[in-house]
């Protein structure tokens, strides 16, 4: 039990969390909630979107070059307004942007990397987005229901056809046995 608690302490060491609330359509800046060590020159800062599937890279800020490189697969514009990678700007946020974001500070050899999570909560979005999602769900449900009804109808027709064929075959054998 002691080893388990020690392991949990190690996992939580060097990480921080913060929550940000924004209105739909706002331009927001997420700040990395990690406290940097004063005399450590971090090599890079990376930002990720956290999901059930894992981490999706957004960008990596190279501290030595002072340049930003976007990760493949992130289909949104993101900026670094402070020029040090410790903040990320998202413009015109929607409910798709809602969720957890992680910043990772990459330390030089001999020092500890640090991670911080920021939870973005987006409020005030129009009900049009919610209505569209509900319509999509209803269309999927209607399609699934139609597929079930069609399948059951085909099974019923096949069952009737099979029973008629059995009755016809049975009567044929019955007629033959009476003749002998």
What is the tens place of the pLDDT at every residue in 73-89? 888 888 888 788 899 99
Most confident of 24-33, 73-82, 171-180: 24-33
Q: What is the pTM of this model?
A: 0.61
Query: 164 to each of 22, 114, 120, 155, 161, how far by Cα in Å?
Result: 67, 74, 64, 14, 5
| Sheet of strand 99-106: strand arrangement | 15-23, 114-123, 99-106, 44-51, 54-62, 67-70
Phi first, then psi: what are they for 131, rounded to 5°? -65, -40
H/E element, 166: helix 127-179
């Amino acid at each position: 039990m002691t080893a388990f608690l020690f392991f949990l302490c190690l996992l939580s060491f060097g990480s921080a969390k913060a929550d940000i609330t924004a209105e739909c359509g706002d331009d927001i800046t997420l700040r990395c909630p990690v406290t940097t060590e004063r005399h450590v020159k971090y090599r890079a800062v990376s930002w990720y979107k956290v999901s059930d599937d894992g981490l999706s890279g957004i960008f990596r800020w190279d501290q030595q070059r002072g340049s930003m490189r976007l990760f493949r697969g992130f289909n949104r514009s993101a900026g670094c307004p402070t020029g040090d990678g410790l903040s990320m700007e998202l413009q015109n946020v929607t409910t798709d942007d809602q969720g957890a974001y992680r910043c990772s500070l990459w330390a030089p050899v001999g020092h500890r990397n640090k991670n911080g999570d920021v939870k973005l909560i987006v409020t005030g979005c129009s009900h049009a987005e919610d209505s569209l999602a509900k319509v999509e769900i209803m269309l999927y449900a209607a399609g699934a229901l139609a597929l079930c009804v069609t399948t059951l109808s085909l099974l019923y027709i096949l069952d009737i056809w099979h029973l008629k064929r059995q009755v016809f075959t049975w009567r044929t054998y019955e007629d033959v046995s009476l003749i002998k």
